[in-house]
Amino acid sequence: MTTYEYTCLTCGPFEERHPMGQAPGETPCRCCGTPAPRRFSPPAVRQITPKLRRALDAQESSAHEPRVVRR
């Protein structure tokens, strides 16, 4: 389940959980029932270790211009 953010024009922001990719574009506000549009927000990404970050950066930098190996 993924947390999605919605904003009611009357009551303000609130969150709901739905299966990934199945969140409706609008959902009724919990307080007043008014249709509230979904807000797009960055995903919650977990912290990764420095070692993994270096490996991912190296992989990303070589994706477009792979390093040439002579031997």
CATH of domain 2-45: 2.20.28
Query: pLDDT-derived band of residue 65, with 50, 70 and 90 as boundaries?
Result: low
> Which residue, among 3, 9, 55, has the nearest Cα to 35 in the 3D structure?
9
CB contact set of 28 (below 8 Å; sequence gap of 6+): 34, 35, 36
* Arithmetic mean of pLDDT, 62-68: 67
d(CA 52, CA 33): 45
Task: Name the residue ranges covered by the structural domains of the chain.
Answer: 2-45
Q: What is the pLDDT of residues 21-52, one digit of tens each?
A: 899 999 999 999 999 999 987 776 677 888 98
Q: Check residue 53 and give its pLDDT.
A: 86
Q: Check residue 69 and give its pLDDT.
A: 73
Q: Check residue 43 and give its pLDDT.
A: 73
Q: Check residue 63 and give its pLDDT.
A: 63
